[in-house]
A and B are shown apart, each in its own frame.
Chain A
Amino acid sequence: MITLENVTKVFGSTTAVDEISFKVEKGETFGLVGTSGCGKTTTLRMINRLIEPTSGSIAIDGKKTTAQNPEELRRQIGYVIQNVGLFPHYSVQENIATVPGLLNWETQRIQSRSEELLQLVGLDPETYADREPSSLSGGQQQRVGLARALAADPPIILMDEPFGALDPITKQQIREEVGQLLEQIHKTIVLVTHDVFEAFEMCDRLCLLDQGKIQQIGTPKELLFQPANDFVESFFASNRFQLELMSITLHDILKSAEEEMELYWSPPLRDKKERIDSRESLYVILEEIEKAKEQNPVIIQRINGRVRESLGFSALLNRFQQYKLQMKSGGRHV
């Protein structure tokens, strides 16, 4: 989908981005992570030509970005930034309508699309469409910013620290919502963040940069468990435990547990093994584990042997409980 080949950017005497190459696959969420000044934002901004590379080439669907007019290119790429940058003199609806307006959509189409998007980001169009951005909370502003980026239904969305300006609670909440939303709409996403938790939670693959050079590209799990060098290992060291908890899915636990604990599985669990890939069935399995835990604590300890601490496992169980409550009250998936 997006291909960078030997891309270099030099500002004056500093090389911000040094010979970077990677490929972002269609539909994946690709994270650019690293400390500040590592070149991740520069890399992102080169994709929609807000910054022109000094050398190297960038292509989208095999077509070089330089072959296109930069403005037209940008209209096909959603762009979300940390400070949102909503137009203060436009209403929420007018903000969302910006790119469709630039693309000369019909008024009617723009109107219905804006309403649809407000619904999608969880803001009631009747209440919010005519509000001024300044009357919205930070979280609401970022939702509108996201809706604005999605307005013309671009296949690619670039996000530069999209949740960086939010308080931790709002941040967590929006991140989860956005994560689900992005999964639904199936976009190719490039996300810049310095927050490793955010990267682990949202991204399918990560690219860790340091001083403009790629240190490692891979899934969060690969970076965590098969670090390519000392830098990669040390980058995650301080948050290692929590990141491990996050990167190990129930699937992993169950899979490893399955082999070791074949004996202990109760019959209903085994019947459902074929549906193990679907999320829902995981929760059914979890439920079974919970039952098993009541009957035989030993199983849990052995499962925990993989996770090292029972704490992580109880966290998973907690989420499962929440999920059950939500299901009962007709809520959405976790």
Chain B
Amino acid sequence: MFDFWHFIISNQSELLNQTVQHIGLTFISLLIAVIIGIPLGLLATRYEKISSPLLGAVGVIQTIPSIALLGFMLPLLGIGVIPAIVALFLYALLPIVRNTYSGISEVDESVVEAARGMGMTSGQILRKVELPLAMPVIFAGVRTATVINVGVATLCALIGAGGLGEFIFRGIALNNAVMIMAGALPAALLALGFDFVLGFFERNFSDLVKPLSYGLVGVLIFVSFYALSSVFAKSPFKMGVPSEFLERADGYRGLTRHYDLGEVPTIEMNASLMYNALKNGKVDVIVGYSTDGRIKAYDLKVLKDDKHYFPPYQCAPILKQRFATEHPEVVKAINKLAGLIDTQTMTELNSRVDYQQKDEAEVARDFLRNHGFKTDITRQGTPDMLIGGKLQTEQFIMGQMYRMLIENYTNLDVGLKLGLAGTQIVFRALNNDEIQMYPEYTGTGLHVLLDTDKTVSDSLGNDPQAVYNYVNHHMLKQFGIRWLKPLGFENTYALIMRRKQAEKLGIDTISDLVDYLKHN
């Protein structure tokens, strides 16, 4: 509990900012949904023919998982506030349209008949009779939509739209419960708060109509201002950063200190979406992975780490020493790959999956076959061991290769637990024997898993072998975990820009970028 308060207090400005973004996202999407949804619902009551297709359509939207909806919108709208608001708007639509429709349809027919018979115009019937009588039902729809939106809005952090999801996803990546709570608790409170406020409006609707409409206009202006300012803000340079990088020892803070980077506006986003965002000009520089296939595919440029901030990140599988002793045949099978995949090969394989949309198992099998390995045995039974992996594309490919090698060269049956969201999560799973092996990077071992002192890491310098030896030795001592032979490629963190822009601005190294930012 103390940790929690401490975290809240020390991060209060960021928390406040995220909360305001969260309210903004929820509110503006809700407002649009109300402005569009209520007339749609009314339309459905007036034209019975369109009512079932319309309600069906908004219902179908609701059944699309929120992550998938955000994913669908990537090619259309890219990342940032606008696709987030569009997605939230679509989710809010169903409860509002459906409740408007049923609220109006359920108004007693004889009441409407009487109103018509007394000479009310259809506009008057709507305003004076149908809407007031349907109001409780419509309000219930708006309240449902609000609660849904507060929840879904947390996912918008994945596409760089901000909000309380930033803490939640960073917390998940770092396995930091306090951080998750710092995002989740305010989100839950927001949902309750919104619900309460709407309930209050509903009870006092007739007295509040006038102040409410003025207030609404005010809020609309405020919210639009918020949304527009963050979308169209003319900051010359924006940096897209994955959640995990923000908090790592070899991450953002160290980078800014090492290069004296100063304040660069950063947008936190899902690691897989950054490349698209960079390509589409939503951000100008990202912190990505040097082996990512999209670097080549999107014609991006990796800036040289001229001041050697990032340590070597040789990729090698790690497993418990105990397991290695029990299953020497696994170690032998895995080590067949040692040194076979250099950085260029890995980038190429990644690009086949990321860019050419090939199946990662397919890519893995092709590679193994071309190198003369057996790949024809596939076991479907209960797994004897589980291989883990992080979210990066290459981890999916490596996981598949390991499975094929172990199943073809030993008698073990292999299961996969790939795509775990963050170093801490995968590592903890290995440490708790929930998985038996996963590919890790030496630099990450040095800074994240071992929490190595800066003087020590500086003394190791940029010597890959020295770093490998250091992490192997110390992790064996500390966790009983062993590093197998490196695969041959390095996947370092890297600052990546669009090649054209980098060339135009004459930026080749991180120092060039820092210089450029200082003078602009």
Q: Chain A residues in contact with chain B, CB under 8 A? A: 48, 50, 70-76, 79, 81-89, 98-99, 102, 145, 148-149, 158
Contacts and interface: CB of A to CB of B under 8 A. Distances in A.
A73 B116 CA distance: 11
B113 interface: yes
Interface in B100-127: 108, 110-121, 124
B119 A85 contact: no
A85 B133 contact: no
A89 B129 CA distance: 8
B118 A74 contact: yes
A102 B116 contact: no
B119 A73 contact: yes
Given A81-B110, A102-B124, A87 B115 contact: yes
B113 A81 contact: yes
Given A85-B108, A102-B124, A71 B114 contact: no
Given A50-B113, A84-B114, A102-B120, 16 more contacts: A74-B116, A75-B119, A81-B110, A81-B114, A82-B110, A84-B110, A85-B108, A85-B111, A85-B114, A86-B111, A88-B108, A88-B111, A98-B115, A98-B118, A99-B119, A149-B118
Contacts of A158: 117
Contacts of A86: 111, 114
A99 B110 contact: no
B119 A71 contact: yes
Given A71-B121, A87-B129, A50 B110 contact: no
Nearest to A133: B111
Contact of A72 (B114, B119, B124, B129): B119
Interface centre among A85, A149, A158 (most CB of B within 10 A): A85
The 3 closest A-B CB pairs, nearest first, are A85-B114, A79-B117, A74-B119
Contact of B118 (A75, A84, A88, A89): A75
12 contacts: A73-B119, A74-B116, A75-B118, A75-B119, A84-B110, A85-B108, A85-B115, A85-B117, A89-B132, A102-B119, A102-B124, A148-B118
A170 B400 CA distance: 83
**How many interface residues does chain B have, given as a range?**
10 to 19
A279 B112 CA distance: 42
Nearest to A74: B119
Contacts of A99: 118-119
Nearest to B111: A85
B6 to A, nearest CB: 52
Interface centre among A70, A73, A74 (most CB of B within 10 A): A74
A50 B116 contact: yes
Contacts of A85: 108, 110-115, 117
A82 to B, nearest CB: 8
Nearest to A72: B119
Contacts of B128: 87
Contacts of A71: 119-121
A297 B450 CA distance: 125
Contacts of A87: 111, 114-115, 128-129, 133
Contacts of A74: 116-119
Nearest to B124: A102
Interface in B277-313: none
A233 to B, nearest CB: 35
Interface in B69-111: 108, 110-111
A8 to B, nearest CB: 22
A83 B111 CA distance: 8
A119 B373 CA distance: 101
Looking at chain B's contact residues, the main secondary structure is helix
Contacts of B124: 102
Interface in B109-157: 110-121, 124, 128-129, 132-133
Contacts of A79: 114, 117-118
A161 B111 CA distance: 15
Contacts of A83: 108, 110
Contacts of A72: 119
Nearest to B129: A87
A58 B316 CA distance: 93
A69 to B, nearest CB: 9
A89 B133 contact: yes
A102 B114 contact: no
Contacts of B116: 50, 74
Contacts of A82: 110
A87 to B, nearest CB: 6
Contacts of B110: 81-85
B512 to A, nearest CB: 70
Nearest to A101: B128
B113 to A, nearest CB: 6
Contacts of B111: 85-88
A89 B107 CA distance: 11
Contacts of A102: 118-120, 124
A72 B129 CA distance: 18
A233 B132 CA distance: 50
Contacts of A149: 118
A70 B121 CA distance: 9
A123 B121 CA distance: 30
A102 B113 CA distance: 16
Contacts of A75: 118-119
A86 B111 CA distance: 6
A75 B121 CA distance: 11
A111 B476 CA distance: 92
Contacts of B119: 70-76, 99, 102
A103 to B, nearest CB: 9
Contacts of B113: 50, 81, 85
A75 to B, nearest CB: 4
Nearest to A85: B114
A136 to B, nearest CB: 15
Interface centre among B113, B119, B124 (most CB of A within 10 A): B119
Contacts of A145: 114
Contacts of B133: 87-89
A74 B111 CA distance: 15
Nearest to B121: A71
Contacts of B115: 85, 87, 98
A230 B83 CA distance: 75
Interface in B149-190: none
A98 B115 CA distance: 9
A290 B111 CA distance: 50
Interface in B244-282: none
B273 to A, nearest CB: 49
A149 to B, nearest CB: 8
A236 B124 CA distance: 43
Nearest to A148: B118
A178 B120 CA distance: 26
Contacts of B112: 85
B117 A81 contact: yes
B343 to A, nearest CB: 72
B60 to A, nearest CB: 33
A83 B124 CA distance: 21
Nearest to A73: B119
A79 B111 CA distance: 12
Contacts of A73: 119
